[in-house]
């Protein structure tokens, strides 16, 4: 009787080890490729967040320039007034000394006792009660350039901030303060945050004070409120350092953006106790990465499916029968007598 020549599975015929090695190699290569690609996508996400921070820094620089220019004009006014007072001349105090006419409501001259001695333009109608309020008193009493907390002014409810510059005589004595009232609800300040809407459908920006309160916003309803990210604003205001994070989004009722998270950048100003916050929904900000992750996952799954299908197909292949009549089993009956 001849040895049993029954068909065997492919791997049982001596090819199983090669198939296992090949499959393991493909699996390891696929895993490494997916891992490296995933890490590259993480790097891309970080770069998108960094780009958001750079955009916020650019916006903050524009606001800083505005504040610096306003202080410069106030300092120039203070120098002219102090020179006139030293020379015992009536101070020259006209509308040409107002910084940024379309955003400055008024410029006020305080004497060394904190009393208003002049105001231009007089048509603004700042009442004595408003002149004596605490926010202005802090600025008037400051020995260096100062910015007040925001407050509402007049019946129109305009939100303003006071910028104060102390005046000193040539002998070094304090002789008063020049104060400029900046309209935070005016077109100039609003113009700083409006470009944020160009970063996306959910793009928005806020100018925040050191208490985490909104001064200027792409959503006017947030003025003097907490905005959409109160926890982030409060924490960032305490840190006073540039940062970018993915933070919770508290949408207002009726807000078209109902996303749960936003990628927000925060940059404090160097010449005022304010900061710029700029961001958009995490889904919109990281959309390019999300699409690539989806493609990567699909490619990885497809590779595994192909590998598995190939292994199953290979395992199912049987060798051709060895008998002359093509029958399975013992072929001794085909031998000649």
231: domain CATH number? 3.30.450.20
Look up the domain containing 179 and give its range.
76-186
Assigned domain for 1 exists: no
Between 272 and 292, the higher pLDDT residue:
272
pLDDT bin (cut points 50, 70, 90) of residue 15 is low
Q: Both 156 and 198 in a single domain?
A: no
Q: Both 228 and 138 in a single domain?
A: no
Q: Both 164 and 226 in a single domain?
A: no
**Which of 141, 165, 186 is the C-terminal boundary of a domain?**
186
How far is the C-alpha of 162 from the C-alpha of 149, rounded, in Å?
Answer: 8
pLDDT bin (cut points 50, 70, 90) of residue 278 is very high
Q: Both 149 and 206 in a single domain?
A: no
**pTM, whole model, 2 decimals?**
0.72
What pLDDT score does 127 carry? 63
What does the pLDDT average to over 127-151?
82
**Which of 141, 158, 186 is the C-terminal boundary of a domain?**
186
What does the pLDDT average to over 243-252?
90
Q: Interhelix angle for 287-315 vs 16-86, to 10°? A: 180
Tell me the percentage of the chain whose pLDDT exceeds 90.
23
Tokens of 332: 């001794």
Q: Residue 121, preceding bond cis, omega within 30 degrees?
A: yes
Tell me: pLDDT of 269 over 60.
Answer: yes
**Which of 155, 186, 217 is the C-terminal boundary of a domain?**
186
How many domains does one find in the chain?
2
Tell me: pLDDT of 223 over 70.
Answer: yes
What pLDDT score does 266 carry? 95
Specify the residue for token string 């015929």: 13
Q: Both 214 and 244 in a single domain?
A: yes
Mean of pLDDT over the chain: 77
- The closest of 138, 68, 152 to 110, measured between CA atoms, is 138
Q: Both 59 and 192 in a single domain?
A: yes
Assigned domain for 126 exists: yes
pLDDT bin (cut points 50, 70, 90) of residue 263 is very high
Q: Both 56 and 146 in a single domain?
A: no
Q: Both 243 and 271 in a single domain?
A: yes
How far is the C-alpha of 130 from the C-alpha of 69, rounded, in Å?
Answer: 25
Between 135 and 21, the higher pLDDT residue:
135
Assigned domain for 264 exists: yes
Assigned domain for 106 exists: yes
pLDDT bin (cut points 50, 70, 90) of residue 34 is low
Q: Both 125 and 158 in a single domain?
A: yes
Q: Both 105 and 177 in a single domain?
A: yes
Q: Both 147 and 196 in a single domain?
A: no
Assigned domain for 142 exists: yes
What does the pLDDT average to over 204-223?
89
What pLDDT score does 100 carry? 40
- The closest of 96, 116, 112, 21 to 314, measured between CA atoms, is 21
Assigned domain for 9 exists: no
What pLDDT score does 241 carry? 92
Tell me: pLDDT of 195 over 70.
Answer: yes
pLDDT bin (cut points 50, 70, 90) of residue 317 is low
Cα torsion through 139, 141, 146, 150, rounded to 10: -20
Q: Both 157 and 80 in a single domain?
A: yes
Between 235 and 337, the higher pLDDT residue:
235
């Amino acid at each position: 009787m001849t040895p049993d020549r029954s068909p065997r599975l492919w791997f049982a015929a001596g090819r199983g080890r090669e198939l296992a090695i090949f499959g393991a190699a493909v699996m390891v290569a696929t895993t490494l490729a997916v891992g490296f690609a995933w890490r590259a996508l993480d790097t891309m996400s970080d770069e998108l967040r960094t780009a958001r921070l750079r955009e916020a820094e650019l916006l903050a620089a524009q606001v800083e320039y505005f504040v610096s220019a306003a202080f410069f004009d106030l300092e120039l006014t203070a120098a002219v007034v102090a020179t006139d007072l030293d020379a015992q001349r009536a101070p020259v105090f006209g509308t040409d000394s107002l910084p940024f006419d379309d955003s400055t409501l008024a410029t006020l001259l305080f004497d060394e006792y904190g009393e208003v001695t002049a105001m231009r333009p007089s048509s603004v109608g700042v009442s004595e009660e408003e002149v004596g309020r605490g926010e202005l008193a802090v600025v008037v009493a400051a020995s260096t350039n100062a910015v007040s907390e925001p407050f509402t002014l007049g019946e129109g409810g305009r939100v303003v901030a006071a910028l104060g510059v102390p005046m000193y005589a040539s002998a070094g004595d304090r002789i008063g303060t020049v104060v400029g009232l900046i309209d935070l609800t005016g077109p100039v300040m609003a113009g700083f945050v409006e470009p944020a809407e160009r970063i996306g459908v959910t793009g928005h920006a806020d100018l925040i004070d050191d208490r985490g309160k909104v001064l200027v916003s792409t959503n006017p309803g947030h003025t003097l409120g907490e905005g959409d990210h109160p926890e982030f604003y409060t924490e960032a205001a305490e840190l006073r350092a540039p940062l970018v994070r993915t933070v919770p989004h508290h949408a207002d009722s009726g807000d078209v953006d109902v996303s749960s998270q936003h990628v927000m950048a925060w940059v404090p100003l160097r010449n005022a106790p304010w900061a710029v916050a700029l961001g958009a929904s995490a889904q919109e900000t990281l959309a390019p990465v999300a699409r690539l992750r989806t493609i990567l996952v699909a490619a990885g799954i497809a590779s595994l499916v192909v590998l598995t299908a190939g292994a199953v197909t290979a395992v199912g292949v049987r060798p051709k029968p060895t008998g002359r009549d093509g029958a399975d089993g013992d072929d001794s009956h085909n031998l000649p007598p």
